[in-house]
Amino acid sequence: MLVRIVCFLLLFLNSCLILSQAKTISEIKINGAKKLKTALILKIISTKVGDSLDTKVIANDIIRLKRIPPIANATYEVIPSASENVQLVFTIQENFTLIPFANLYTSSNDDFAFRVGLQEFNFLGRNITLGGFYQFDIFNSYGIGVRDPYLFSNKFGVAFNYKNFTTQEPVFFKEATADYKYNNKGFEILGLYEINTKNNIALGFSLFTEDYQYISGFTDENVPLALNVRKSLGKLIYNYEDLNYHYQYLNGFKSALNLQYVRSTNEALPDFWIGFNDFLFYKRIGQKGNWANRIRLGLATNSESPFAPFTLDNNLNIRGVGNTIDRGTGAIVFNTEYRHTLIDKNWFVLQSNLFLDGGSWRNPGGELKNFTDKNNIRVYPGVGLRFMHKRIFNAIFRIDYGYGITKDASRGFVFGIGQYF
């Protein structure tokens, strides 16, 4: 009897010892990678050969992989072997990443503008974004950009952008409005750093020239008819993201903070600070619904310049409002919409969309109470449709119609590629 008890205890202790030993990853295999380089995937993930098996770390790796543009979905499997080692297998589903894009709109004021371009989100198979655009908004504009978030390591990368941007901009005075031809030409360099799965920052600068040429409308002896000013800009972007992606559905919270300091060589366009934060919240509702919300809070140096930095614009913040209809030194904007999947096939998705956009602005040189001034408040409900391809990154063609219900409101269609937010 004593021998049996001793044998049982020895077997029990041996089993506990075996269970307590962490499994070691002897091999990491990547399935499904076609254009995307396997070496890059192994660089991005934190799990390495020789590490102890940790499902929490692997789950974070899955989140990181699902967030990069070339990957539509990612899963993993642990395959045990006869020894204490295991094989870790990641299976990915790639997106098609050479994507044309277009944004255009019309309004009741007969405004018409569009931007078209082409972007490759997996250039050289290394998750590098390379693209350019052409815009027509009375005048012609163009720009190019490249972004490599993992150039130096699995956390540190760089981005570069160049633009030659020209539009007809309304300049708002107390008495009336004037139209100027506005040109912004320059480049931007950003360093990109991923702190962890949820937090990343971008830090950089740009050098550019702003040129204003008077076209028509009101004039003021204190405001020049022509300006050509060299400027420099320092920028800090901080993103917190805790989102769960599943094809067209999002669930979770994201915050994006953007701080900039602009230095000028001309007193007519003085130095200023500008900062704004976008708070985004997404909630999956049932099997086919998605509730999406965005709140933007922003403030800038409160100068009385008619060239204030915050703009009220159709393609930026309130759908249907028109092309740059107001400016301010502060902004509070909210967007909320319910997206409902009507058709969901193997590759195609059709969504309906009900939305409510609204916002208010602080007048240049004004006070915070401007935000509650009924003349500054805009509210636009509307409806829309989304046509999506599930195997092509950001292949979402959207049509929205916004109808203003506040003072001096307009209405109009907004077309674009990608979700509005």
**CA-based nearest residue to 322, from 381, 218, 403:** 403
Each residue's pLDDT tens digit, 322-339: 877 778 999 999 999 999
How far apart are alpha carbons 149 and 203 in whole angstroms? 13
Three-state DSSP class for 42?
helix
Mean pLDDT of the 140-169 span: 95
Check whether residue 48 and residue 103 sit in a common domain.
no
How far apart are alpha carbons 83 and 361 in whole angstroms? 66
**CA-based nearest residue to 252, from 277, 296, 295, 282:** 282
Check whether residue 45 and residue 189 sit in a common domain.
no
Q: Do residues 381 and 403 touch, judged by C-beta distance below 8 A?
A: yes
Burial (CB count <10 Å: 0-12, 13-18, 19+), residue 147: buried
Check whether residue 229 and residue 113 sit in a common domain.
yes
Residue 117 has pLDDT above 50, yes or no: yes
Check whether residue 40 and residue 112 sit in a common domain.
no
| Residues of the domain holding 60 | 2-94
Check whether residue 65 and residue 106 sit in a common domain.
no
**CA-based nearest residue to 323, from 114, 156, 176:** 114
Residue 17 has pLDDT above 50, yes or no: no
- The confidence score (pLDDT) of residue 108 equals 45
Domain boundary pick from 70, 94, 118: 94
Bridge partners (DSSP) listed for residue 228? 211
User: How many separate domains does the chain show?
Assistant: 2
Check whether residue 208 and residue 239 sit in a common domain.
yes
CA atoms within 13 A on the CB side of 189: 2
Domain boundary pick from 71, 94, 117: 94
Mean pLDDT of the 99-111 span: 66
What's the CATH number where 21 sits? 3.10.20.310
**CA-based nearest residue to 251, from 216, 301, 293, 212:** 293
Domain boundary pick from 94, 117, 146: 94
- The confidence score (pLDDT) of residue 269 equals 83
DSSP state letters, 105-146: EE-TT--EEEEEEEEEEEETTTTEEEEEEEEEESEEEEEEEE
Q: pLDDT-based confidence at 347, cuts 50/70/90?
A: confident
Backbone angles phi, psi at 217, to 5 degrees: 105, -160
What's the CATH number where 284 sits? 2.40.160.50
Q: pLDDT-based confidence at 106, cuts 50/70/90?
A: low
Task: Mark 4-40 as b/e (b = at least 16 C-beta within 10 Å).
Answer: eeeeeeeeeeeeeeeeeeebebeebebebbeebbeeb
Q: Which amino acid is at 237?
A: I
Check whether residue 259 and residue 129 sit in a common domain.
yes
Check whether residue 178 and residue 45 sit in a common domain.
no
Check whether residue 191 and residue 287 sit in a common domain.
yes
Check whether residue 45 and residue 188 sit in a common domain.
no
How far apart are alpha carbons 341 and 389 in whole angstroms? 13
Each residue's pLDDT tens digit, 268-314: 788 999 999 999 999 999 999 999 999 999 999 998 877 788 988 88
Check whether residue 172 and residue 59 sit in a common domain.
no
**Which pair of structure tokens corresponds to residue 375?**
């003349």
Question: Which pTM was predicted?
Answer: 0.81
Three-state DSSP class for 371?
helix
Check whether residue 287 and residue 343 sit in a common domain.
yes
**DSSP structure class, residue 46:** S
Each residue's pLDDT tens digit, 201-253: 999 999 999 999 999 998 888 788 999 999 999 999 999 999 988 888 999 99
Each residue's pLDDT tens digit, 361-410: 999 999 999 999 998 999 999 999 999 988 787 789 999 999 999 988 88
Residue 18 has pLDDT above 90, yes or no: no
Burial (CB count <10 Å: 0-12, 13-18, 19+), residue 169: buried
